[in-house]
Structure 1
Amino acid sequence: MFTGIVETIGTIKEYIERDTSDVGGYGSSLVITDCQLILSDAHLGDSIAVNGTCVTVTDFNSTEFKVGVAPETIRRTNLCELRPGNKVNLERAVAGHVRFGGHFVQGHIDTTATIVSITPDGNALTFWFQPKDESVLRFIVEKGFIAVDGASLTVIDVDDVNRKAFSVMLISYTQEKIVTAKKPVGATVNIEVDLMGKLLEKQVTLQIENQLKGQLSETLGGYIEKMVDSKLKQMK
């Protein structure tokens, strides 16, 4: 589990497309350097988010570490596009003593998205992203959480009809702390939607399915009405 608060920016030293040296055999690997800030307490097997993707440390020293990249990760993320010299967002998995400044980020990428526009607004920048998998837009809501290349950001606007895209705003401080701010229009980012939206959809879907199967004695409308009444009583 991660918070979406990027700790440091690392540099890709090597991308090994066919690596048989690690346990697990044939696969891909990344070697990332310039990241001593997050390696002082590193251990083999630790989870680190690279551009928001949870990967496992297979080797490390004081300044760099190596991770394996599974085929599913290659298919879902932008890690396969990384080449030596590219910069990446890095965050260690949450420890018990860490303040939770972002939101619950799993490091499980839902899809990639393309930057379709970048607009200055004072000293801030507004980015619009178009997801490769448009179905994730149903989980993205105005003022909700979103993880972009692993950075916890607030959704500014969603257009799931015409542009089929969503926007975030990066303040000047954030622009200096994450790799996204340096990416041009047309570049790819990793997207992880808020887990709560997916959980809620599943619960509602199960309720509807059970209703259709005749397994509930009350209608879905009655179920929702009870939830609303309960919330209103709590607010009084």
Structure 2
Amino acid sequence: MFTGLIEHTSTVSKINDPSTSNHDQTKFEHDVDKGGFTMTISDSESILDDCQIGDSICVNGACLTVTEFNKDSFVVGLAPETLSRTNLGKLNIGDKVNCERAMSGKTRFGGHMVQGHVDSTATIISRVPDGDSIRYSFQFPSETTLLPYVIEKGYVTLDGASLTITFVDDAKRSFGIMLIAHSQEKLTLTNKKEGDTVNVEVDCVGKYVLGSTSRIEGLIERAVEKKLKEKGLI
């Protein structure tokens, strides 16, 4: 579990893909149909002082398991499921990533409950300065089912960062956030442009509430149908 408060921005330093002979590419886009690969993330000393093999680190919003580490870098594996849900397969060597360690029992809960389970990606469709802040608008893919979980003034996790939703347009499958000056200094989103994608995790509380509602309705319908059949009414 994470809070969505980014601790550090690290750097992708190595991509090790068994499906290609060139393991240290500077430009890279992985074919998810060919399986997973490993990635080394460096410039990470400040978040590795208490690291152990098997620990979870949220990288651009995806909860990943540390398989190796040293003083400055750690290695994670990216499975096909992760690649199909996220934009991590589009990272290149030298790219910056948002990182957050799993929350501890003594952590101040300043963001919101983030699982590190990316639901989808969304595309930046506008980026407009507003004073010392930046207003971003994003659009989900046409097949999205996530809009019921995106509400104005609710939470959304973008590339691992907990942000407040400023508007929702169901017809356009779009939503927006405002990035304050402090966050601009901390997040990789500041350097993204229109057309780039972000990893999205909607509020897990909303998923549980709405998901439970539909399941409860299904249970009730089946129970009523069973009773009606027992009474010979259907």
Q: TM-score, normalised by structure 1?
A: 0.85
CA distance in 2, matches of 1:203, 1:187: 33
CA distance in 2, matches of 1:210, 1:60: 47
Is 1:160 equivalent to 2:147 in the alignment? no
Is 1:174 equivalent to 2:183 in the alignment? yes
8 A contact 1:15–1:82 mirrored in 2: no
Is 1:7 equivalent to 2:7 in the alignment? yes
Is 1:102 equivalent to 2:111 in the alignment? yes
- 2:29 maps to none
Is 1:142 equivalent to 2:157 in the alignment? no
Is 1:83 equivalent to 2:92 in the alignment? yes
Q: Deviations over 1:96-131 (max 9, x none)?
A: 111111000000000011101001111100101112
Q: Deviations over 1:169-201 (max 9, x none)?
A: 000000000101110110111000001111111
Is 1:117 equivalent to 2:165 in the alignment? no
- 2:43 maps to 34
Equivalent AA in structure 2 for residue 42 of structure 1? C
The one of 200, 205, 209 equivalent to 2:218 is 209
Segments of 4+ moved more than 4 angstroms: none
**1:150 Cα deviation from its structure 2 partner:** 0.3
The one of 34, 39, 50 equivalent to 2:59 is 50
CA distance in 1, matches of 2:219, 2:63: 35
How many correspondences in the alignment? 209
**1:211 Cα deviation from its structure 2 partner:** 3.3
**1:212 Cα deviation from its structure 2 partner:** 2.4
- 1:185 maps to 194
**1:137 Cα deviation from its structure 2 partner:** 1.2
8 A contact 1:48–1:93 mirrored in 2: yes
The one of 48, 51, 62 equivalent to 2:71 is 62
Equivalent AA in structure 1 for residue 137 of structure 2? W
**Partner SS for 1:80:** helix
Provide structure 2 residue ranges, at least 5 long, that are not aligned to the other structure. Answer: 20-34, 226-234
Provide structure 1 residue ranges, at least 5 long, that are not aligned to the other structure. Answer: 20-25, 217-236
Q: TM-score, normalised by structure 2?
A: 0.86
**Partner SS for 1:75:** helix
CA distance in 1, matches of 2:107, 2:216: 37
**1:49 Cα deviation from its structure 2 partner:** 0.4
**Partner SS for 1:127:** strand
**Partner SS for 1:103:** coil
- 2:31 maps to none
Sequence identity, in percent?
45
**Partner SS for 2:94:** coil
8 A contact 1:54–1:106 mirrored in 2: yes
Equivalent AA in structure 1 for residue 148 of structure 2? R
- When the two chains are superposed, the root-mean-square deviation of aligned CA atoms in Å is 1.4
8 A contact 1:105–1:194 mirrored in 2: yes
CA distance in 1, matches of 2:204, 2:119: 10
